Amino acid sequence: MITVVPDEGSEPAETPVDFGAFVRKMGGAASGGLVVQPRMGISAPEEMRAGLMATKAANATTVGTITLDSYTRVGNLKAADTALREGIGLNGYPIVNHPRKVTRHVLSGTWGQDFPVQIRHGSATPRDIFSAMMALRLNATEGGPVSYCLPYGRTPLADSMRNWEECSDLFAQLREIGVEPHLESFGGCMMGQLCPPSQLIAMAVLEAMFFYQHGLRSISVSYAQQTNMVQDIEGVFALRRLCHELVPTENVHVVIYAYMGVYPTTEDGAYRLLGQAAELGVTCGAERIIVKTKAESKRIPVVAENVEALEYASGVAARTKSPAVGYYGEDTETYLEAKAIVDAVLNLDADVGHALLLAFKYGYMDIPYCVHPDNMGRTRSYIDERGWLRWSEIGSLPLGKLVSRRISKKATSTDLLRDLQYVRGEFDCASWTPGELWADREG
């Protein structure tokens, strides 16, 4: 049982803005642009506050991010406490260990009606995190019972499912006091790379349905930029269509993640890749983008690099033409594959959480190259000659009528290493005109 301890005097003077409503108002079709968001988490409160202030002051429509540290992610609060007492820097903000008055100070002057803040954590055991957020009335976060379990550790999937059921139910209770909670599915980002888009889309849609079953009405779904722009466009349109068909709330938006795999080492390559992610978002009518920076291949970026990336992505989005409409209603290859997976999972049980557990047990969902014990591990993928992510082995995925076994191939370790480096190679090459990029950045 989760207990939220109210923090006397901690409540903000006004009701927190609905993160989802804000993003839908300021991004996507409503504005023709994108709301831009950094990945940012700093353990020192004053530096975290400075990061939020810089994000808010950027020349772009922004939302703030507080990314939590690894100790908090895995529930090792004792280690986080030791680090704070001994002045050891963490790789994120320890929201559970910092006193609430400290976090309240971090948020003061930033978090408000014109600048919502999202808590990002990556935890399969998020009880303490949700309790800390709710005590501060922080009403936007992300994750999911599968997408925050399989890639990050060995917590049994059934345990993660129970944890996320409890926390989603609890989070939804904010609506009873007039605060709209927002949850984003991380399902479209599983493993970061080399998962064909159809399974990413299916996962995001199913986790959004899971959130809805547990009382959430403000929801977003993620899609991580992959290896081919045309396939990505097809994928985001498929994601939007399936959400429209299956998630019964109007308050849903799409967030694009700039590429999450091996990143270009050159500054120009990094910006070119980020620019293409922004173009993808606008082209498909997405509302928000989470950026990466020129430092991504080398180290954790500093605040100034994050701001530069935010402004660059926003500038590219502003200059990108309005959304295309051609793919939205089409039965594309990606849509049909994603729908086949979603339908097969939903046929297993009326409870989406239980259906997801059964789906992994039977191999109806099976993430390539994921070594979690609850993942069957019989699927593999590869990048074809056009740069599209393809299935090389489908295991027990319900795609037998859609994926030709004749083109299946065995991926070797050499193939895998080559595919992991594919995007870096493509974007670090000199086959494009640098002047175009610098014109974007100066614009």
pLDDT digits (tens, 9 = 90+) for 225-248: 999 999 999 999 999 999 999 999
pLDDT score of 401: 86
Q: How confident is the model at residue 31 (pLDDT cuts 50, 70, 90)?
A: confident
Q: Residue 324: what pLDDT?
A: 63
pLDDT-based confidence at residue 34 (cuts at 50, 70, 90): very high
Least confidently predicted of 12-21, 207-216, 217-226: 12-21
Mean pLDDT of 347-355: 98
Task: Please state, in angstroms and rounded to a whole number, the distance separating the CA atoms of residues 409 and 386.
Answer: 16
Q: How far apart are CA 268 and CA 264, in angstroms?
A: 9
Task: State how far the Cα of 304 lies from the Cα of 315, in Å rounded to an integer.
Answer: 16
CA distances from 413 to 29, 72, 197 (A): 43, 34, 22
Give me 104's structure tokens.
Answer: 């309240």
Q: List phi, psi (to 5°) of 217.
A: -125, -10
pTM as predicted: 0.93
Q: Round to whole Å and give the CA distance between 208 and 180.
A: 16
Average pLDDT of the segment spanning 177-191: 94
What number is the average pLDDT over the span 308-317? 97
pLDDT digits (tens, 9 = 90+) for 254-289: 999 999 999 999 999 999 999 999 999 999 999 999
Per-residue pLDDT at 408: 56
Instruction: For residue range 368-423, list pLDDT tens digits in order.
Output: 999 999 999 999 999 999 999 999 999 999 998 888 754 556 678 888 899 999 99
pLDDT at 190: 86
Q: Round to whole Å and give the CA distance between 205 and 121.
A: 20
CB neighbourhood size of 335 (10 A): 23
Q: For 369-382, what is each residue's pLDDT tens digit? A: 999 999 999 999 99
Q: What pLDDT, on a 0 to 100 scale, did the predictor assign at position 431?
A: 56
In this prediction, residues 43-65 reach a mean pLDDT of 97
Q: Is 127 left (phi over 0), alpha (psi -120 to 50) or beta?
A: alpha
